[in-house]
């Protein structure tokens, strides 16, 4: 595949959400180095959870066109996240085939096989099954602006405390396992138990993805942990401009 080239992996830009770092991200994709021949968009690039998907896509059509224009010099792949899980509906479309839209991706650089997942897969233990979580994620994408405002309110009220969560559950009126998870799963990463997710990620490198180096995002906490065979792409929200660089020499954490 890419014998001498360099791969850039980036996630959690959350375009469509207020905190999205849009202008800097455009600058970033327009100034990828000449030695870059692969770009992995590792999920949650677009954010449909607090907005309607069509509105978010239309608003960001310029970025999508710029990403498409990187081909064929740069091979662009799109791995689904939870906030853009709805894109699975477009997997057979021009968009889907253009970006090799998929749940995960495997690439070999040097002596290492890298497995790319967004990282929402690490949440499944809380939901019982991965299928249940993916259904939840798609529901959140389909919920549109109204439930979006509700989710925003949840975020704020969780910080402030109070009994708003129960009112929200009644408002959304979805099956129990969804409404109970809304508050927890829609919480910003800083409010959550990320150490646990990192433990699950490390488990995957000795289980399902044995012998591979796992790259994920989702937690907005960038790192490279060689000893655990895991790395995290970080995010592009709240001033962060994190990305990972991979080539035959290994993986490094960078900031734009
Ligand atoms: Mn995510």
pLDDT of 134 over the 60 cut: yes
CA of 197 to the centre of ligand 1 (A): 12
pLDDT band at 96 (very low <50, low <70, confident <90, very high): confident
CA of 141 to the centre of ligand 1 (A): 12
Tell me: do 249 and 199 sit in the same domain: yes
- The greatest distance separating any two alpha carbons of the chain, rounded to the nearest whole angstrom, comes to 56
Q: How far is CA 161 from the centre of its chain?
A: 28
CA of 217 to the centre of ligand 1 (A): 7
pLDDT of residue 36: 97
- CB-hemisphere CA count at 13 Å for 156? 6
Rounded CA-CA distance 60/75 in Å is: 20
Contact 234, 217 (CB under 8 A): yes
Domain final residue pick, 169, 189, 209: 189
Tell me: do 48 and 153 sit in the same domain: no
pLDDT of 74 over the 70 cut: yes
Buried b (16+ CB within 10 A) or exposed e, 150-174: bbeebeebbeeeeebbeebbeebeb
- Closest of 248, 206, 255 to residue 1, by C-alpha: 248
211: domain range? Answer: 6-122+193-255
CA of 136 to the centre of ligand 1 (A): 13
Number of continuous H segments (helices) and E segments (strands) in the chain: 10, 10
Kind plus residue range of the DSSP H or E element containing 65: helix 61-69
For 2-11, 21-30, 152-161, 245-254, which range has the lowest pLDDT when averaged over its residues? 152-161
pLDDT of residue 1: 47
* Domains of the chain: total: 2
Burial of 10 (0-12, 13-18, 19+ CB in 10 A): buried
pLDDT of residue 171: 47
pLDDT band at 106 (very low <50, low <70, confident <90, very high): very high
Across 53-62, 98-107, 136-145, which has the greatest mean pLDDT? Answer: 98-107
Tell me the CATH number at 39. 3.60.21.10
Q: Which two tokens stand for residue 15?
A: 């375009």
135-181 confidence digits (pLDDT tens): 767 777 766 655 555 555 555 554 454 454 454 445 444 444 444 55
pLDDT of residue 154: 52
- Closest of 70, 80, 63, 78 to residue 16, by C-alpha: 63
Q: How far is CA 254 from the centre of its chain?
A: 17
Rounded CA-CA distance 235/212 in Å is: 23
Tell me: do 12 and 116 sit in the same domain: yes
CA of 120 to the centre of ligand 1 (A): 6
- Residues lining ion ligand 1 (Cβ < 5 A) are 44, 81-82, 218
With respect to residue 129, please indicate whether it lies within any of the assigned structural domains: no
CA of 14 to the centre of ligand 1 (A): 9
CA of 119 to the centre of ligand 1 (A): 7
Tell me: do 43 and 114 sit in the same domain: yes
Tell me: do 204 and 181 sit in the same domain: no
Total-model pTM: 0.84
**Distances from the Cα of 231 to the Cα of 68, 76, 124, 139, 211, angstroms:** 26, 20, 20, 29, 15
**Distances from the Cα of 250 to the Cα of 37, 79, 104, 226, angstroms:** 16, 21, 20, 9
């Amino acid at each position: 595949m890419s014998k001498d080239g360099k791969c850039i992996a980036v996630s959690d830009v959350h375009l469509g959400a207020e905190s999205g770092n849009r202008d800097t991200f455009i600058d970033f994709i327009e100034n990828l180095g000449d030695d870059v021949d692969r770009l992995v968009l590792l999920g949650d690039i677009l954010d449909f959870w607090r907005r309607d998907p069509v509105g978010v896509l239309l608003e960001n059509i310029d970025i999508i066109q710029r990403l498409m224009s990187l081909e064929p010099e740069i091979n662009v792949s799109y791995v689904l996240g939870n906030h853009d899980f709805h894109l699975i509906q477009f997997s057979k479309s021009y968009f889907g085939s253009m970006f090799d839209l998929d749940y995960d991706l495997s690439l070999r650089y040097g002596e290492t096989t890298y497995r790319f997942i967004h990282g929402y897969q690490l949440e499944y233990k809380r939901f019982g099954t991965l299928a249940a979580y993916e259904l939840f994620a798609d529901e959140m994408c389909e919920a549109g602006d109204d439930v979006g405002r509700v989710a925003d309110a949840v975020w704020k009220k969780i910080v402030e405390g109070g009994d708003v969560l129960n009112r929200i559950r009644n408002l959304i009126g979805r099956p129990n396992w969804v409404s109970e998870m809304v508050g927890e799963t829609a919480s910003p990463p800083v409010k959550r138990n990320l150490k646990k997710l990192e433990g699950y990620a490390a488990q995957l490198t000795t289980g399902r993805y044995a012998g591979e180096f796992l790259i994920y995002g989702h937690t907005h906490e960038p790192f490279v942990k060689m000893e655990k065979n895991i790395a995290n792409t970080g995010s592009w929200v709240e001033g962060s401009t994190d990305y990972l660089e991979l080539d035959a020499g290994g993986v490094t954490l960078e900031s734009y």
